[in-house]
Homo-oligomer: A and B are copies of this chain.
């Protein structure tokens, strides 16, 4: 008996192994090229043939092989998001916004954290390039120099977020952190505060924290004030570390102790509030406290935290749109700035004299 080609087809249909374009082509009675066309450039194929192919695709549960497509077309449809940390609500929210926008256009998000370490960011990005990621979104303007040469070398478009690159070297989407904290500091100065404290994220390679600090110092300097060294604490972004930092400030002699403590993020501010509560220090009467990023964590405190609303969803969406525009050769803006908003709440008031 001759082997029957039809029975082979039938076996394939029921089989549980992955079906290929070849299988679809055979079932539909066309060539693999036509299968590819139906999926990628359907307008080049006759309606009737399309239906034939689509039916076969459905029947076989055919899903094109991404790696093969990526290899052939040099495009993987994957965007890398390289983020400092997932545990900070705003980074998570930005990623979420990006993912939604990219998913809608058929791109997938490949995710990596670098835990505020620029060398780790470099290594991780290299990994992603190796995995075939087409383009990148980074947080912040400061990065390892090698990062940019690597991206250039592999022809990978990228966008920096959370800041605006005034040198114009890199495409960027963000907001003016410096001016935001400047404004907020002015407000505290206007209330009559003279002695300030600062809880800051480690500034090493973290331009968001650096800029936020700079905005504060600039405003103080203009008012003839300054931050004394023992009123400035640096730490990692978690509540325990924030409490410890604030505790140190509360140990200062009352005549030295700040009447307002500003924080480069809401987590620090909430940790500071907790430390004050535990020490019996009243907020805002004995101590004014401000945060940054306007998270739910801060907004729901008692009293609610004064903060700066950063336009992070907008940044995430814009970054997604722009990276697609670059990838698809459409026009795009070199840099975009979104407005922040100072949100005054009951965690600040005039200093007690």
Q: What is the interface of chain A, defined by CB distance below 8 A to chain B?
A: 16-18, 61, 63-68, 70-71, 76-78, 81, 85-87, 89, 92-93, 95-96, 99-100, 103, 106, 108-113, 124, 126-132, 150, 152-155, 239, 267, 270, 273-274, 277, 296-297, 300-302
Residues on B with beta carbons closer than 8 Å to the beta carbon of A267: 296
Residues on B with beta carbons closer than 8 Å to the beta carbon of A18: 153-155
Say how far A61's CB is from chain B's closest CB, in angstroms.
Answer: 6
Alpha-carbon distance between A76 and B66 when the two chains are bound, in angstroms? 10
Say how far A66's CB is from chain B's closest CB, in angstroms.
Answer: 4
Residue in B closest to A95 when the chains form the complex, CB atoms? B86
Say how far A169's CB is from chain B's closest CB, in angstroms.
Answer: 17
Q: Which 6 A-B pairs have the closest CB atoms?
A: A67-B70, A86-B96, A302-B302, A66-B132, A92-B92, A66-B131
Contacting residue for A87 out of B17, B77, B96, B111, CB 8 A: B96
Residue in B closest to A68 when the chains form the complex, CB atoms? B71
Residues on B with beta carbons closer than 8 Å to the beta carbon of A93: 86-87
Residues on B with beta carbons closer than 8 Å to the beta carbon of A131: 66, 76-78, 108
CB<8 Å pairs between A and B, sample of 28 = A17-B155, A18-B154, A63-B130, A65-B132, A67-B68, A67-B70, A67-B71, A67-B76, A67-B132, A68-B71, A70-B132, A71-B71, A77-B131, A78-B110, A85-B96, A87-B89, A99-B112, A100-B113, A103-B112, A103-B113, A106-B127, A108-B110, A108-B112, A108-B131, A111-B111, A277-B302, A301-B302, A302-B302
Alpha-carbon distance between A76 and B110 when the two chains are bound, in angstroms? 13
Residue in B closest to A120 when the chains form the complex, CB atoms? B103
Residue in B closest to A61 when the chains form the complex, CB atoms? B153
Contacting residue for A127 out of B68, B108, B126, B130, CB 8 A: B108
Q: Is B71 in contact with A65, judged by CB distance below 8 angstroms?
A: yes
Q: Is A154 in contact with B63, judged by CB distance below 8 angstroms?
A: yes
Residues on B with beta carbons closer than 8 Å to the beta carbon of A129: 63
Contacting residue for A111 out of B16, B17, B109, CB 8 A: B109
Residues on B with beta carbons closer than 8 Å to the beta carbon of A66: 67, 70, 76, 130-132
Q: Is A86 in contact with B99, judged by CB distance below 8 angstroms?
A: yes
Contacting residue for A16 out of B65, B67, B153, B277, CB 8 A: B153
Alpha-carbon distance between A297 and B93 when the two chains are bound, in angstroms? 16
Residues on B with beta carbons closer than 8 Å to the beta carbon of A302: 277, 301-302
Residues on B with beta carbons closer than 8 Å to the beta carbon of A67: 66-68, 70-71, 76, 132
Q: Is A96 in contact with B78, judged by CB distance below 8 angstroms?
A: no
Residues on B with beta carbons closer than 8 Å to the beta carbon of A132: 65-67, 70
Say how far A152's CB is from chain B's closest CB, in angstroms.
Answer: 7
Residues on B with beta carbons closer than 8 Å to the beta carbon of A152: 16
Residue in B closest to A115 when the chains form the complex, CB atoms? B100
Say how far A71's CB is from chain B's closest CB, in angstroms.
Answer: 4
Alpha-carbon distance between A66 and B78 when the two chains are bound, in angstroms? 12
